[in-house]
Amino acid sequence: MEIVTEEITLASLREMAAKKFGDMVKAVVDVERGIMAIDGELHADEEGLLLENGSKQASLWGINIYPDVAGDDWLEFDSLINLRPSQGNRSRGVEDPQLTEKIKGIVSRLVRR
């Protein structure tokens, strides 16, 4: 598991995927700090790592990255940590379209495709 603050390659994500889930890498994005944690068994593990390193709970959102999928479908917004009724998010997805776009922007900046 690691925190990504600088650009990483798609090849690195492919290697991580192959070692754990085959075709995807779990990630948690900190929308306030513009960073993400990757390569954990659970989104909750990555969330914990970010919290230990100064992130705020309300800024953390779980996604899955599929390095071999083209277009917008390479990101999947599905994680138990996204269930946040107190923030108006009542599903495992990310219901706010602006927040979804912000997450996409952060991941696109951090992953060289």
* Token pair for 88: 């108006």
Residue boundaries of the structural domains of the chain: 2-112
Over range 54-76, report the average pLDDT: 96
Residue carrying the six token digits 């309300």: 58
User: What does DSSP say about strands 8-9 and 75-76: parallel, antiparallel, or unpaired?
Assistant: unpaired
pLDDT of residue 113: 84
> How would residue 74 be classed by pLDDT, with cut points 50, 70 and 90?
very high
Coil, strand or helix at 31: coil
Structure confidence by residue, pLDDT tens digits, 76-110: 999 999 999 999 999 999 999 999 999 999 999 99
Structure confidence by residue, pLDDT tens digits, 8-32: 999 999 999 999 999 999 999 999 9
Closest CA to 27 of 53, 51, 61, 58: 61
Over range 36-55, report the average pLDDT: 98
